[in-house]
Chains A and B, each alone.
Chain A
Amino acid sequence: MKPYSLLVALSGGLLVACAATPPVTSSAKAPAPTVAGAPIAAPAPPAYASTYRPMPATNTLLRGATVLTGTGERLENADVLLVDGKVAALGQGLAVPAGAVAVDAKGLWITPGIIDAHSHLGVYPSPGMRSLSDGNEATSPNTAQVWAEHSVWPQDPGFGAALAGGVTSMMVLPGSANLFGGRTITLKNVAGRSVQDMKFPGAPYGLKIACGENPKRVYGEGRKMLPSTRMGNMAGFRNAFIDARKYRDDLAKYERDRATKPDAQPPTRNLQNETLAGVLSGEIIVQNHCYRADEMVQMLDLAKEFGFRIGTFHHAVEAYKVADILAANGTCSAMWADWWGFKMESLDGIRENIAMVDAAGACAVVHSDSEVGIQHLNQEASKAMAAGRGMGLTITPEHAITWLTRNPARAIGVADRTGTLEPGKMADVVLWNGNPFSVYALAQKVYIDGALVYDRHDPAKQPISDFALGLTPAGGAR
């Protein structure tokens, strides 16, 4: 896991803000922000920076609940104290600090906020109108230069619905039409006027890439161009990384030479290669749409050839076939509980996939890829637990919650700040009316950075998007 400071530097400055100067992919050399070339005392925020501010919060003590910490532990009759937007303490019989509110949570369950590592909210919003469809820049197999955040429509009513399902953070990805779909963006699930208001401060970028049927169908079948085959897919990936490597090396050479050679020229800035260079340096996490086991192994070889890591295989319906290899590579799998058979590369999907990946010691993530599924990721995990039980695996709620919180946090690179209930972590918390792995469970209250952002029983605490305004019904739970 990357240290926090590095992540902040990455997102806040280097790859993002260097409009006037060539990008620098080493985090140690962040140039001071300037205005019109002159140094300023209080640095202006770089372009595209997060403007997220936590909502007003009252320090809160949640008392007497069953707590799944996200670290694998389960505490009974336990309290969770939220102070200044952070988890301050967990334990029994905690005192209510002065000025804090106490919430009786007896009989209720508490979990970390759910994190969806694969969402298209905002880029494929509701309503699904053509004019709002901004998820696939399907005009070239390589669109590594596009950023999902530039497509996110903050008024998507799906954000509020996901919040009612306990989702506090998510990664929004471009679609999978292209080999290189573009940069992902990690959001806090808060109502913002702009996507900048929602951007998870300091979260690393991801790069969406796609194996298999989609790129070859869109380009080969659709446009009669490369890739039309899986070998074409691989050639497309390799050629792009060869270019990116040269870009990176040219840039490094320029950095070495600029002090001693006044006429040294940086390479022409190239957004595609900037992103791919970020992958090569490890600052951008590879988020790889890939269904088939054999293709995951191919992609691990691609990563080996160019010296980068694949953070997560998304969908990964055949991950169970190579779970040992995924574990050895430290690659996460973000999976559905039971989607299968809608195309050839999903035909071998099985209910036990998540449990088998988990049992092999690999990082298992339950993801949605759906504005519907994101509202009940807890139920999807429940089905995966049941399937595991059916084959003799013992999976406790305190373990299964890691598929929804800690592991997706790891997959998208924010596990040092959220995903578990540990002192110092962001107070991203869900209060459930029962065992969250029951189909009948509903999120009662949702906290993000300690602020009560959703309350099922208080309409005033339910965000309504501009689009949903005046519609019946309008609330987040709908």
Chain B
Amino acid sequence: MNARSFALVALLGTSVLSSFAVAETIVLRGATVHTVGPNGTLQNATIVMQDGVIAAVGKDVRIPTGARVVDVTGQVITPGLVDAYGRLGVTEVDGEAATVDESARGLPYSAAFSVAEAIEPRSIRIQVNRAEGITAGLVAPEASMDSSGLGTIIAGQASFLRLKPGMAIDVRTPVGFVFTYGEAGADLSGGARSAVLLRLRALLDDARDYAANREAFNNGARREYTGTRQDLEALQPLLAGKAPLLAEVHRASDILVLLKLAREQRLKLVVIGGAEAWEVAPQLAAAKVPVVLDVFENLPSSFEMLGATFDNAARLNAAGVEIAFSYAEHYNPRNARQLAGNAVAHGLPFDAALAAITRNPARIYGAGDTLGTLEVGKTADLVVWDGDPLETSTLTMQVYVGGEPVPTTSRQTLLRDRYRTPRGTLPPAYVHPTAK
């Protein structure tokens, strides 16, 4: 199985055909452009989006004939924001199990479990968050427990999703394997951290043995494995270092254990959570292990987060650790930019904060070649803001995915418009969306 296989599931319905019609060349002129790339920030710059990619970005840019030029003078452009760890498309209303596909109870499978094919591209959450600048995201499965009280050791495969409008799903799987460690992980393995590691090592050992002895396995000539055939097969990209272990872990000493385990097992590792990661920043930097964190996690919320602090991001960055930000509430990845702003208030340089919600998460999940910065040849996923993108007072003006404008209306804006005053004489139920 090819870990980098690119699955483009295009379920064409009549309503989406128009969005695949001849792509317009669009030019955005006059904005301050944070490229988050080698060119840094450009004032009064122009961006040309052609055939879904950035054809030009800079100050002296030739405008192609026939292009639609949009004046965005005084506004600010950034790459599209990336939800660094979320559930977009697989969870709609957390409290309603029928709308939640991020985990399954009582399955014999673990690593084989993938969220990719459950994704609903027309999800209200996607609509709302995309209209406010989220253009891609990591879609993670969640660990679950069976009736015996034992949980999945690997929750499953994470997908990287681009938030294209319509029914076309642009998703890459697996971009990581979710592994819950620390207090929650221990709870899934009978209550002890050591049990988690024991189970994980056994599983990885079996996956290696299986890969080297598929024929013997199929002939019933191997020992009993701890995972199903599907799990052992699914784990091969992890063992080959093609997709990282996405380890949910907070405690500094737990992170050190996982760094050791990653070395021993030759796994790529990404720390998810990492409230105490700043305390082992040099080790993380040396091992080139990125940390996806929530800037707002500054309280000693548990005994594995006693060292939580607002300074986490700034300290990790200063030590050379690659960081990305993930907002705790999965319905609101649009607030990742607020996290970035708070990190700046607590000492993180602005450019590093912006990178933590654009370039870094794209790169961590293997999309760095095409997404995350505004450079010629990269996919034209970008956002136009009416001010500093990290400011809570700033509004999203335009969003482009693959060079095409994304609707800035959402179910939320429709609700707003139906109840805004002055209202007509008919009940709000007769206020309908205008065709767009």
A associates with B: yes
Contact A379 B338 (CB under 8 A): yes
The contact of A438 among B96, B124, B279, B393, by CB within 8 Å, is B393
Q: Is B300 an interface residue (CB 8 A)?
A: yes
Of the stretches B45-53, B197-205, B302-310, the one at the interface is B302-310
Instruction: Report Cα–Cα, A252/B431, bound state, in Å.
Output: 52
Q: Knowing A157-B299, A350-B412 touch, does A343 contact B95 (C-beta < 8 A)? A: yes
**Residues of A close to B395: CB separation below 8 A:** 386-387, 389-390
Contact B298 A391 (CB under 8 A): no
Contact B331 A321 (CB under 8 A): no
Task: Mark contacts of B290-301 with chain A using CB atoms, 8 A cut-off: 1 yes-contact digit, 0 otherwise.
Answer: 000000111111
Q: Is B335 an interface residue (CB 8 A)?
A: yes
Contact A386 B419 (CB under 8 A): no
The contact of B345 among A213, A340, A380, A442, by CB within 8 Å, is A442
Contact B93 A382 (CB under 8 A): no
**Residues of A close to B303: CB separation below 8 A:** 127
**Residues of B close to A350: CB separation below 8 A:** 412-413, 415-416
Q: Which of A155-187 contact B (CB under 8 A)?
A: 157-158, 161
Chain A contact surface mostly: loop
Q: Is A262 an interface residue (CB 8 A)?
A: no
Instruction: Report Cα–Cα, A157/B392, bound state, in Å.
Output: 26
Q: Is A347 an interface residue (CB 8 A)?
A: yes
Contact A341 B124 (CB under 8 A): yes
Task: Mark contacts of B104-122 with chain A using CB atoms, 8 A cut-off: 1 yes-contact digit, 0 otherwise.
Answer: 0000000000000000000
Q: Knowing A342-B93, A382-B393 touch, does A348 contact B342 (C-beta < 8 A)? A: no
Q: Is A352 an interface residue (CB 8 A)?
A: yes
Q: Is A250 an interface residue (CB 8 A)?
A: no
Interface residues on A, range: 35 or more
Q: Is A339 an interface residue (CB 8 A)?
A: yes
**Residues of A close to B185: CB separation below 8 A:** none
Q: How far is the CB of B300 from chain A (nearest CB, A)?
A: 5
Q: Is B332 an interface residue (CB 8 A)?
A: yes
Residues of B within 8 Å of A, CB-based: how many?
A: 49
Instruction: Report Cα–Cα, A332/B335, bound state, in Å.
Output: 26
Q: Is A320 an interface residue (CB 8 A)?
A: yes
Q: Is A383 an interface residue (CB 8 A)?
A: yes
Instruction: Report Cα–Cα, A477/B312, bound state, in Å.
Output: 12
CB nearest neighbor in A for B304 = A127
Q: Is A145 an interface residue (CB 8 A)?
A: no
Task: Mark contacts of A358-387 with chain B using CB atoms, 8 A cut-off: 1 yes-contact digit, 0 otherwise.
Answer: 011000000000011001100110110111
Contact A347 B93 (CB under 8 A): yes
Contact A478 B415 (CB under 8 A): no
Instruction: Report Cα–Cα, A348/B128, bound state, in Å.
Output: 12
Contact B345 A338 (CB under 8 A): no
Q: Knowing A343-B95, A390-B395 touch, does A338 contact B298 (C-beta < 8 A)? A: no
**Residues of A close to B322: CB separation below 8 A:** none
Q: Is B390 an interface residue (CB 8 A)?
A: yes
Instruction: Report Cα–Cα, A127/B300, bound state, in Å.
Output: 6
Q: Is B94 an interface residue (CB 8 A)?
A: yes
Q: Knowing A341-B331, A385-B393 touch, does A440 contact B416 (C-beta < 8 A)? A: no
Task: Mark contacts of B407-419 with chain A using CB atoms, 8 A cut-off: 1 yes-contact digit, 0 otherwise.
Answer: 0000011011001
Q: Is A128 an interface residue (CB 8 A)?
A: yes
Task: Mark contacts of A319-355 with chain B using CB atoms, 8 A cut-off: 1 yes-contact digit, 0 otherwise.
Answer: 0110110000000000000111111100111111000
Q: Is B92 an interface residue (CB 8 A)?
A: yes
CB nearest neighbor in B for A352 = B416
**Residues of A close to B307: CB separation below 8 A:** 471-473
CB nearest neighbor in B for A465 = B300
Q: Is A229 an interface residue (CB 8 A)?
A: no
The contact of A348 among B341, B345, B415, by CB within 8 Å, is B415
Q: How far is the CB of B417 from chain A (nearest CB, A)?
A: 8
CB nearest neighbor in B for A382 = B392
**Residues of A close to B175: CB separation below 8 A:** none
Contact B416 A439 (CB under 8 A): no
The contact of A158 among B299, B329, B331, by CB within 8 Å, is B299
**Residues of B close to A338: CB separation below 8 A:** 332, 334-335
Q: Is A205 an interface residue (CB 8 A)?
A: no
Q: Is B74 an interface residue (CB 8 A)?
A: no
**Residues of A close to B272: CB separation below 8 A:** none
Contact A376 B342 (CB under 8 A): yes
Q: Is B37 an interface residue (CB 8 A)?
A: no
Instruction: Report Cα–Cα, A147/B9, bound state, in Å.
Output: 56
The contact of B300 among A126, A339, A356, by CB within 8 Å, is A126
Contact A386 B394 (CB under 8 A): yes
Q: How far is the CB of B93 from chain A (nearest CB, A)?
A: 6
Q: How far is the CB of B56 from chain A (nearest CB, A)?
A: 30
Q: Is B215 an interface residue (CB 8 A)?
A: no
Instruction: Report Cα–Cα, A376/B343, bound state, in Å.
Output: 13
Instruction: Report Cα–Cα, A356/B419, bound state, in Å.
Output: 9
Q: How far is the CB of A374 from chain B (nearest CB, A)?
A: 10
Contact B302 A343 (CB under 8 A): no
Q: Is A306 an interface residue (CB 8 A)?
A: no
The contact of B308 among A359, A439, A478, by CB within 8 Å, is A478
Q: Is A468 an interface residue (CB 8 A)?
A: yes
Contact B124 A478 (CB under 8 A): no
Q: Which of A385-429 contact B (CB under 8 A)?
A: 385-387, 389-391
Instruction: Report Cα–Cα, A139/B420, bound state, in Å.
Output: 41
CB nearest neighbor in B for A322 = B419
Contact B96 A343 (CB under 8 A): yes
Contact B309 A126 (CB under 8 A): no
**Residues of A close to B413: CB separation below 8 A:** 350
The contact of B412 among A161, A340, A371, A467, by CB within 8 Å, is A340
Task: Mark contacts of B81-107 with chain A using CB atoms, 8 A cut-off: 1 yes-contact digit, 0 otherwise.
Answer: 000000000001111100000000000
CB nearest neighbor in B for A340 = B331
Highest count of chain B CB atoms <10 Å: which of A321, A339, A349, A438: A438
Q: Knowing A161-B298, A341-B331, A343-B94 touch, does A360 contact B421 (C-beta < 8 A)? A: yes
Q: Is A437 an interface residue (CB 8 A)?
A: yes
**Residues of B close to A320: CB separation below 8 A:** 416, 419
**Residues of B close to A128: CB separation below 8 A:** 301-302
**Residues of B close to A371: CB separation below 8 A:** 299, 301
Q: Is B428 an interface residue (CB 8 A)?
A: yes
Q: How far is the CB of B130 from chain A (nearest CB, A)?
A: 14
CB nearest neighbor in B for A355 = B416
CB nearest neighbor in A for B303 = A127
Contact B93 A440 (CB under 8 A): no
Q: Is A300 an interface residue (CB 8 A)?
A: no
CB nearest neighbor in B for A343 = B95
CB nearest neighbor in B for A397 = B393
Q: Which of B318-352 contact A (CB under 8 A)?
A: 328-329, 331-332, 334-335, 338, 341-342, 344-345
Q: Is B254 an interface residue (CB 8 A)?
A: no
Q: Is B391 an interface residue (CB 8 A)?
A: yes
**Residues of A close to B300: CB separation below 8 A:** 126-127, 157, 467-468, 471
Q: Is A441 an interface residue (CB 8 A)?
A: yes
Further 4 A-B residue pairs, CB within 8 A, beyond A344-B96, A356-B419: A341-B124, A341-B125, A372-B296, A472-B279
26 contacts across the A-B interface (CB closer than 8 A): A127-B305, A157-B299, A161-B298, A320-B419, A341-B92, A341-B331, A342-B329, A344-B95, A351-B412, A356-B416, A356-B419, A371-B299, A372-B328, A379-B338, A379-B341, A382-B391, A389-B395, A438-B392, A439-B341, A439-B390, A440-B391, A468-B300, A471-B306, A473-B311, A478-B309, A478-B310
The 4 A-B residue pairs with the shortest CB-CB distance, nearest first, are A439-B341, A343-B95, A382-B392, A126-B299
Interface residues, chain A, CB within 8 Å of chain B? 126-129, 157-158, 161, 213, 320-321, 323-324, 338-344, 347-352, 356, 359-360, 371-372, 375-376, 379-380, 382-383, 385-387, 389-391, 437-442, 467-468, 471-473, 477-478
